[in-house]
Amino acid sequence: MQKVLVICGPTCVGKSSFARFLAKELNGELINGDSMQVYQEMKIGTAKESEKEMKEIPHHLFDIKTIKESFSVAEFQRLLRKKIDEIEGRNHLPIIVGGTGLYLKAGLYDYEFLEKGDTDLGLNQKSTKELYDILNDIDAETAKEIHPNNRKRIIRAIELFYETEIGKSGLNKKQKHEPIYDVIYIGLTREREQLYKLINERVEEMFNKGLEEEARYIIATASKDSTALQAIGYKEFIDCDDTELIKENIKRNTRRFAKRQYTWFNNQMKVRWVDVENKTNEGIYDEIKEELGEWLNG
């Protein structure tokens, strides 16, 4: 199986810096695993690396979309797998860096996505409650996973049922949910209060760099259903003009997101966690060097 190294963990923990260091040590190339760093215009709010940093080693799947374009998990899966093949073809190690767990699992596990069909089922003419009742009748298991007011997901679930005759829940049962690569997950962590302190400091720095101007531009430019508007650091500006309130909301939402990231990775993947507190990149590497060597040579 192809070997893939993943550097994961909560936001603001230092993934990007360590991933660059590892890429130099292990003859690797970096692949973006963050759902928002695919957008060209989203730089400050996503804490994207500078052009200088990206030039140090090859970076892939960064800045590949504009905020006017749509981007899905299925498209990410296809692009990620293509990049892994290309990088391996150059005898380099694919190193994914990012914290969007769903994207990582969709790309690295045996997830199947079906193309949306063209059949018009007349769903747009029905109320959201009517749609949810339909979904509950044909695929009650999937209905339990979707909020009754999430019209977009309800419609897609109904369409999927008629396209596959077994629906999302049936497809999930058919899949083994196993990795299709030889993957090792290195998760960076640090003491919770210190992480929250770094998050608060980063948000302050983002505002100093011009986050408000960047966010206002994106809100005015992106389509209303763009996934870009769902990102922390941007969505807080929607319908709000109180800068200090927005700033505090971003800090709070980012802290909560970091907590959810820990929970997700612990529940979904076998992660080798490394406490990075008071450690340089060299120190972090020294702690896992033997394990990585055995994995690479295994």
pLDDT in tens, 19-71: 999 999 999 999 999 999 999 999 999 999 998 999 889 999 999 999 988 78
CA distance 167 to 236: 35
Query: Does pLDDT of 132 surpass 80?
Result: yes
pTM: 0.83
117 within a domain of the structure (yes/no): no
Low-confidence winner among 44-53, 118-127, 236-245 (lowest mean pLDDT): 118-127
Domain check: are 198 and 89 in the same one? yes
Q: Looking at residue 138, which CATH number applies to its domain?
A: 1.10.20.140
Contact 134, 124 (CB under 8 A): no
Domain check: are 184 and 49 in the same one? yes
Domain check: are 183 and 86 in the same one? yes
pLDDT greater at residue 289 or residue 168: 289
Torsion region of 165: left, alpha or beta (phi above 0 gives left; psi -120 to 50 gives alpha): left
For residue 249, the tally of other CB atoms under 10 A from its CB is 18
Percent share of the chain, pLDDT over 90: 66
DSSP helix/strand/coil, 19: helix
Domain check: are 73 and 183 in the same one? yes
Averaged pLDDT of the chain: 90
Q: Tell me the pLDDT tens digit for each residue of 247-275.
A: 999 999 999 999 999 998 998 889 999 99
Q: Which pLDDT score, from 0 to 100, does residue 74 have?
A: 82
Domain check: are 207 and 261 in the same one? yes
Low-confidence winner among 25-39, 117-131, 213-227 (lowest mean pLDDT): 117-131
Domain check: are 85 and 157 in the same one? no
Domain check: are 253 and 129 in the same one? no
* 100 — pLDDT class (breaks 50, 70, 90): confident
Q: Tell me the pLDDT tens digit for each residue of 133-181.
A: 988 988 888 899 888 988 888 888 888 777 666 666 666 666 667 899 9
Give me the domain span that covers residue 142.
123-174
What is the H or E stretch that residue 262 is in? Answer: helix 243-268
Query: Does pLDDT of 114 surpass 90?
Result: no
Terminal Cα-to-Cα distance of the chain (whole angstroms): 11
Query: Does pLDDT of 184 surpass 80?
Result: yes
